[in-house]
Amino acid sequence: MTTAVIPRPESGTDDYLSVWPASTTRLAHGGLAVGGVDLADVAARFGTPVYVLDEGEVRERCRTYRDAFPEAEVLYAAKAFLSRAMVRWVREEGLGLDVCSAGELELAVTAGFPPERIVLHGNAKSPHDLDSALRLGVGRIVIDSPSEIARIAAAVGPGGRQKVMVRVVPGVSAGGHDKIRTGTEGQKFGLSVADGSAQHAIARVLAQPELELTGLHCHIGSQISTVKPYLTALRRMVGLMARIRDTCGVVLPELDMGGGHGIAYRPGEPALDVTALARKLRSELVGSCAAAGMPVPRLLIEPGRGIVGPAGVAVYRVLAVKHTGDTVFVAVDGGMSDNPRPALYGVRYAPRLIGRTSAAASRTATVVGRHCEAGDVLAAGVELPGDVRPGDLIAVPVAGAYQVSMASGYNMVGRPPVAAVHEGAVRLLVRRETLEDLRRRDIGT
């Protein structure tokens, strides 16, 4: 395989590889390789659609966070993408884990992840979620509503002790879309400072001998590309910690600032500067605590998308090309069942023809899925070669986060497989969901 290494450009809308994994190389025949593996070969071996995950990119991004936050506890947000291999990579790179269900928790623990390094989230934890957390010895449980206080205390029982945090709504609006802004009033997560519910819940937790309150938690939103909202939230959280000290006589040792770190999905888009975030958060934390006369708590952060998002590539095969008026529709063999994010959040991607060289002039096209929905659009208004045809391969970068994890069984097409590439080798992590898998779940007559 002949390759030519493409340097990662700093910026520029023409530099399409700027949002691809760092290992991406251009091949002589017009294809692309990631992790030393031709994406067309992955498609031939495992079929399409297929997700390709660059192990080296995941590990390097874990290290970037560890280097940027050496004094903090970095927890990978499993909701972005989770598999047994991902659990191993995160563990070996020294990160903790943030999970949202018994399913995520038990997969992680059975794959060898230490339960004491896991934090359980969720605005509506089921009895099974809490039972699993206590049985397996999860490190912390984040309390999201007043009713959970008594439930967790009762489940722990007399003589037991469970570390918990309280999720607080700091009143900060941030995030790439209304549906992923979680730091403001009037949404389902956390307890409000403004109406006093957070302070009341904290006092109740401190009165429960079965619960050990280690700190406060907030998560202001997702796909945030600037540092300022985090600094505003941090100041408000430190202010609340100071009031807890003054009213309850308790100095909390931990502060979890959540995640939501934005990444670029298309060339030229902004991404959060993790190094700048770490530097400014630390400075603000030290300054705010000094002003309040408090010791500096240990910081926790929860990146998910920022670690796995840019490490993934989705590869589809073109099934049909249709000219409708002035619009060219390029229909592929996947769609909203394997990536609902464009329909949910209006996310825009930068797909590219791979596997062959085209001399045709580019033209604007809309890449659509195979499902029975007008909203099944993967990428609208993108530039593709004018001779794109059925059988071609289309690759979509920045596909590692919230695609496999949000995939559905719509139209019973089956969820795609996930293959890992690393140092010229490819291996299957998650197999394709088959029609037989779907039939086995249907046990009625």
- Which sequence positions are flagged as catalytic? 372
Distance of alpha carbon 25 from alpha carbon 34, whole angstroms: 7
d(CA 217, CA 43): 42
Tokens of 273: 């500067």
DSSP annotation of 410 reads G
Residues 6+ apart with CB under 8 A from 283: none
How far apart, in whole angstroms, are the C-alpha atoms of residue 233 and residue 223? 16
For residues 300 and 163, the answer to whether their CB atoms sit within 8 Å is no
Q: Measuring CA to CA, how many Å separate 401 from each of 300, 305, 327, 407? A: 21, 5, 29, 11
Alpha-helical (H) ranges within 178-267 are 197-206, 228-248
Q: Do residues 6 and 24 lie in contact, with contact meaning Cβ atoms separated by under 8 Å?
A: yes
For residue 308, give the amino acid letter.
V
The strand ranges marked E within 6-160 are 25-27, 32-34, 37-38, 50-54, 73-77, 96-99, 118-120, 140-143
Angle at 74 between CA 69 and CA 79, to 5 degrees: 140
- Per-residue DSSP letters for 337-351? TT--HHHHH------
Nearest-angstrom CA–CA distance, 278 and 93: 18
From 54, 68, 130, 56, select the one nearest 99 (Cα to Cα).
130
Beta-carbon count within 10 A of 112 CB:
10
Q: Which two tokens stand for residue 295?
A: 């010791």
Q: Which residue has the tokens 């091949």?
A: 27
The encoded tokens of residue 10 equal: 């700093």
Give 16's contacts (C-beta < 8 A, 6+ positions apart): 267, 350, 352
CA distance linking residue 358 with residue 350, whole number of Å? 17
Per-residue DSSP letter, 300 = E
Residue 27: beta bridge partners?
A: 3
Cis before 49 (ω within 30): yes
Strand partners, 166: 143, 216
